[in-house]
Structure 1
Amino acid sequence: MKNILKISLSVFMLVFFMACTDDDYDIGEITAPTNLQVETAILGQSDDMPDGDGSGEVTFTATAQGAMTYKFIFENGTEVTTASGVYTHPFSETGTQTYNVNIIAYGPGGTASSTSVEVAVLVTYEPPADLLEKLIGDGAKEWRIKAEAAGHFGLGPVGGSIPTEWYGAGPNEKAHTGMYDDRYIFEEDGTFVHITDITNDDASGTVFGRAPLVEQLGVSCDCETEGDDVLNIPYDDYTENWSISAPGGNETINLTGIGFIGYYIGGDHRYEIFDRSVPNELIIKSTDGNGDFDWWFILTSDSGGGAEEEFVSEYNELHREFNFDTDGELDTTVWNFETGNGEDGWGNQESQYYTEDNAVISGGNLVITAKAEDIEGFDYSSSRITTKDNFEFTYGRIEARAKLPEGAGTWPAIWMLGSDFDEVGWPQTGEIDIMEHAGNEQDLIHGTLHYEGRSGGDADGNTIEVDGVSDDFHIYTVEWSDEHIIFLVDGEVFHTYENNPDSPFNKDFFLILNVAMGGTFGGEINPDFVESSMEVDYIRVFQ
């Protein structure tokens, strides 16, 4: 039900004339907007729930004759300007509260008319204590853009559920923009502090934003641009207010005024929390003021500047080792060959046909070779081997020392699937990708988990840059327990997942090794590709 409020309050006019003694200019009649009216629609409002459904969302619709823009001013300091006169505001104070909202209609020449409305709104949502603790910490926790992670900044379709679906920045790709030295503090009293350059002692720095929306910041500068991006806009530290709401059940950070994170995009200054399962990390998204894109950000409260705590494994007793010391064929009492192209290229549109001939033991290494050749109607051959039904285990430290193939389109992987795969299917069974690599991103290593709700392009993982993955052997490790799953390369931690009793990662898994070609991850294959191999020195499981 809509509550139509037609309130006529004081109307003010601001009309400015410029004239000189000898000249008489006729600029025509300038009048303020008239008949300013405001409708409010409280989400879920009904005869039984006059104050709404508890979500706290209210849509304001302002109309006035001669109006060009409308500004909504809320008691918590939020100010929003819109040309349409329509704005949906998330109130967050728990209980039924009555709010006074001021609305200004602006006309030509700076003229304006104003009115105000009162609206009573019910809010039943209370932010969970663990989220508040994560955001606030001891009251001085500083958040930053996680520049070292792939996809720390990017965009996708409005309403999308795949982070950076259309574009994701590579590690430190935006170092020249004025974004990485910003810090964001969520104080316990609801104050949001944006430090625009943590590296200096001045209360000033630079920020990064999208044209023409950055004009809302009120800064005039001859700043460098890259397409629609405006770089290094001079801007002082500032404070706004923050709150948490959950429209549609989605936890959301609301910032007042011009408060923003990472990249100024205007809009409603709301950042939906997409994922907060990783310690000291948040994945958030927000729709820009043009309604063109959802912009994605990875935040971290790790300082990024100090020495990393040395990783210490809790598993030190060798349980099983595959060292491939004897040249010849693979031990088929342990390893199974999976042949063919599977269904739809093993579900990934892969271009290779797997055989039993492309995996051999040579020179003390297991060698899996992808080749360009005509075979069974496919253009490439390779091998895929597993320990399914022969060697399956729960928890431990898994180490694989390997040198990876090279060439655009190659896709080597050392990974694991749940032993109940045949019964429950994928991704319900769970998948642990100890190492994945795409030849199109030569020195970028992926460590990833797939499970129900986080699979495919929306998987739970991270990346790390490692030099010379196709020239030298490196050690790829997963530490897997009932409390966490930690991914490492050469002893350096780059992703951590907090395990829980409801996850699929608390049962037996088996090992898989393969080299795929192309597909959804491997990407475009170099037309000059001939062959390349993954060489595995050993695989060790400690428990």
Structure 2
Amino acid sequence: MKYISKLFLMLIVIVSVSSCQDDDAEFGAVIAPSNLTLTASIQGQSAAEPNGDGTGIVIFNAASDNALNYTYDFGDGRQGSTFDGEIEHRFVELGTNTYSVTVTATGTGGAATTQTILIDVLSTFDDSEAKDFLTGGSSKTWYWSVAENAHWGVGPTNLIGGQSPEAYYTPAFFGVSPFGRYCVDLTECFYEDEMIFTKTGNDVTFELKNFGSTYFHNTYLSQFGGPSANNPNNSDECLPFTAPAPGLVTFTPTLDTDVPETESRKTSIILGNDNFLSWYVGSSEYEILEITANRVVFRTVQANDPALAWYHVLTTEVPVNPNPNCI
């Protein structure tokens, strides 16, 4: 009997080991990428301008054996990732600065290999006035300009159906009426948001305070746990959401836009850490159309539908609900 018991235990051990080996076989070998190389091409680089033409744009190319993806740390507080190893980045610190750029190539099982290079890049673009308007020189909080007509709305990025040229830079499709997102169950979080720009030295950071929920375009609801049970029509709605951590703001010249120069400042901002200005349409880049010390108009293109441009009119005045009893 003891012999049979021992034989039974041995069989269990053999089956267990065999099972683990099968699992390992299914997972595959853990292989770290090898022969990793990293090169950089600075826009406008020449013998006369060895650090570039001042745009600060650099195209990086990484290559290796057995890599599944590449993650970049650009040495300026910003990161990026790509599957094929090529990525474009704009350095924005004024003057010629040295950056330590590291790429991490990741293989199967998370095995990783890194490579670092030093690069000197010239950046001459700055919009100090816009920075001061947004931050007041230190820190400033912005809100939806709820009393204005079309303080939030959408228009085309292509002129279709015989629309006037103004459709490029106005919410020609739809503009919400004054206080138009108050007293609506699915949108009750919208006007609570605080958008804070803070300046330290010449750097600006952005923080979104959404108090636990964000208003999402309906095409993004499924990515963030929606639609909710009280939204059978899959309309835009507020969903529980933890706002991204504060991130650096990149100020860039606006290049890829159909908005005429007379209707735009031709400065855009890119919010770090995948931040966004309250309304979620998958974008972190915003063109500044108008800006003063207490009012700003932004335009952003919807990430999953580049035919749509969204408009945000913000103010430094705290929103006041004209009918507080309705919520």
How far apart, CA to CA, are the structure 1 residues paired with 2:181 and 2:32? Answer: 45
Query: Is 1:271 the counterpart of 2:286 in the alignment?
Result: yes
Judged with a 3 Å threshold, the aligned counterparts in structure 2 of structure 1 residues 230 and 306 are, in CA distance, closer, same or farther, namely closer
How far apart, CA to CA, are the structure 2 residues paired with 1:288 and 1:101? Answer: 30
**Aligned residue identity for 1:40:** A
How far apart, CA to CA, are the structure 2 residues paired with 1:169 and 1:82? Answer: 37
Judged with a 3 Å threshold, the aligned counterparts in structure 2 of structure 1 residues 237 and 52 are, in CA distance, closer, same or farther, namely closer
Give 2:197's match in structure 1, choosing from 166, 170, 186: 186
Secondary structure, aligned partner of 1:187: strand
Aligned residue for 1:75?
75
Judged with a 3 Å threshold, the aligned counterparts in structure 2 of structure 1 residues 79 and 153 are, in CA distance, closer, same or farther, namely farther
Judged with a 3 Å threshold, the aligned counterparts in structure 2 of structure 1 residues 29 and 195 are, in CA distance, closer, same or farther, namely same
Deviations 1:377-428 (A, max 9, x none): xxxxxxxxxxxxxxxxxxxxxxxxxxxxxxxxxxxxxxxxxxxxxxxxxxxx
Compute the displacement of 1:126 (Å): 2.9
Compute the displacement of 1:290 (Å): 4.7
Secondary structure, aligned partner of 2:242: strand
Residue pair 1:94, 1:122 contacting (<8 A) in 2 also: yes
Number of residue pairs matched by the alignment: 275
Q: Map 1:138-149; keep pairs closer than 5 Å.
A: 139-148=138-147, 149=149
Query: Is 1:300 the counterpart of 2:315 in the alignment?
Result: yes
How far apart, CA to CA, are the structure 2 residues paired with 1:86 and 1:163? Answer: 35
Give 1:242's match in structure 2, choosing from 228, 249, 253: 249
Query: Is 1:196 the counterpart of 2:192 in the alignment?
Result: no
The structure that is strand-richer by fraction is 1
Higher relative contact order (CA 8 A, sep 6+): 2
How far apart, CA to CA, are the structure 2 residues paired with 1:284 and 1:303? Answer: 18
Compute the displacement of 1:98 (Å): 1.0
Compute the displacement of 1:223 (Å): 5.1
Aligned residue for 1:95?
95
Residue pair 1:56, 1:121 contacting (<8 A) in 2 also: yes
How far apart, CA to CA, are the structure 1 residues paired with 2:86 and 2:278? Answer: 26
Q: Map 1:350-369; keep pairs closer than 5 Å.
A: none
How far apart, CA to CA, are the structure 1 residues paired with 2:221 and 2:98? Answer: 32
Secondary structure, aligned partner of 1:238: coil
Compute the displacement of 1:247 (Å): 5.1
Query: Is 1:135 the counterpart of 2:131 in the alignment?
Result: no
Query: Is 1:253 the counterpart of 2:269 in the alignment?
Result: yes
Q: Map 1:273-292; keep pairs closer than 5 Å.
A: 273-276=288-291, 280-290=294-304, 292=306
Q: Map 1:29-178; keep pairs closer than 5 Å.
A: 29-128=29-128, 130-137=129-136, 139-148=138-147, 149-150=149-150, 152-154=152-154, 156-157=156-157, 161-174=168-181, 176-177=186-187, 178=189
How far apart, CA to CA, are the structure 2 residues paired with 1:78 and 1:246? Answer: 18
- The TM-score with structure 1 as length reference comes to 0.44
Compute the displacement of 1:57 (Å): 2.0
Residue pair 1:223, 1:231 contacting (<8 A) in 2 also: no
How far apart, CA to CA, are the structure 1 residues paired with 2:112 and 2:237? Answer: 31
Secondary structure, aligned partner of 2:275: coil
Residue pair 2:244, 2:273 contacting (<8 A) in 1 also: no
Deviations 1:353-391 (A, max 9, x none): xxxxxxxxxxxxxxxxxxxxxxxxxxxxxxxxxxxxxxx
Deviations 1:260-296 (A, max 9, x none): 21234445x33221222x5522122334555735443
Compute the displacement of 1:79 (Å): 2.3
How far apart, CA to CA, are the structure 2 residues paired with 1:123 and 1:171? Answer: 41
**Aligned residue identity for 1:284:** F
Give 1:23's match in structure 2, choosing from 2, 19, 31: 19
Judged with a 3 Å threshold, the aligned counterparts in structure 2 of structure 1 residues 29 and 138 are, in CA distance, closer, same or farther, namely closer
Judged with a 3 Å threshold, the aligned counterparts in structure 2 of structure 1 residues 242 and 30 are, in CA distance, closer, same or farther, namely same
The structure that is helix-richer by fraction is 2
Residue pair 2:131, 2:137 contacting (<8 A) in 1 also: no
How far apart, CA to CA, are the structure 1 residues paired with 2:115 and 2:99? Answer: 14
Residue pair 1:58, 1:89 contacting (<8 A) in 2 also: yes
How far apart, CA to CA, are the structure 2 residues paired with 1:79 and 1:241? Answer: 11
Deviations 1:480-514 (A, max 9, x none): xxxxxxxxxxxxxxxxxxxxxxxxxxxxxxxxxxx
Q: Map 1:401-420; keep pairs closer than 5 Å.
A: none
How far apart, CA to CA, are the structure 1 residues paired with 2:319 and 2:296? Answer: 15
**Aligned residue identity for 1:231:** C
Secondary structure, aligned partner of 1:133: helix
| Structure 2: gaps (5+ residues) | 1-14, 160-166, 256-264, 323-327
How far apart, CA to CA, are the structure 1 residues paired with 2:85 and 2:222? Answer: 20
Higher radius of gyration, 1 or 2: 1
Residue pair 1:41, 1:59 contacting (<8 A) in 2 also: yes
Compute the displacement of 1:35 (Å): 3.9
Compute the displacement of 1:99 (Å): 0.9
Secondary structure, aligned partner of 1:261: coil
**Aligned residue identity for 1:61:** N
Compute the displacement of 1:94 (Å): 0.9
Segment drifting more, 93-102 vs 183-192: 183-192
How far apart, CA to CA, are the structure 2 residues paired with 1:108 and 1:290? Answer: 30
Q: Map 1:461-472; keep pairs closer than 5 Å.
A: none
Aligned residue for 1:232?
239
Judged with a 3 Å threshold, the aligned counterparts in structure 2 of structure 1 residues 74 and 133 are, in CA distance, closer, same or farther, namely same
Compute the displacement of 1:97 (Å): 0.4
Compute the displacement of 1:141 (Å): 2.0
How far apart, CA to CA, are the structure 2 residues paired with 1:166 and 1:108? Answer: 47
Deviations 1:105-138 (A, max 9, x none): 334443433322322111122323x323311126
How far apart, CA to CA, are the structure 2 residues paired with 1:158 and 1:118? Answer: 41
Judged with a 3 Å threshold, the aligned counterparts in structure 2 of structure 1 residues 21 and 106 are, in CA distance, closer, same or farther, namely same
Judged with a 3 Å threshold, the aligned counterparts in structure 2 of structure 1 residues 29 and 172 are, in CA distance, closer, same or farther, namely farther
Residue pair 1:100, 1:119 contacting (<8 A) in 2 also: yes
Judged with a 3 Å threshold, the aligned counterparts in structure 2 of structure 1 residues 60 and 286 are, in CA distance, closer, same or farther, namely farther
Residue pair 2:36, 2:62 contacting (<8 A) in 1 also: yes
Deviations 1:191-230 (A, max 9, x none): 3222113xxxxxxx11234556996xxxx64553775956
How far apart, CA to CA, are the structure 2 residues paired with 1:187 and 1:280? Answer: 15
Judged with a 3 Å threshold, the aligned counterparts in structure 2 of structure 1 residues 264 and 119 are, in CA distance, closer, same or farther, namely farther
How far apart, CA to CA, are the structure 2 residues paired with 1:281 and 1:30? Answer: 54
How far apart, CA to CA, are the structure 2 residues paired with 1:86 and 1:158? Answer: 29
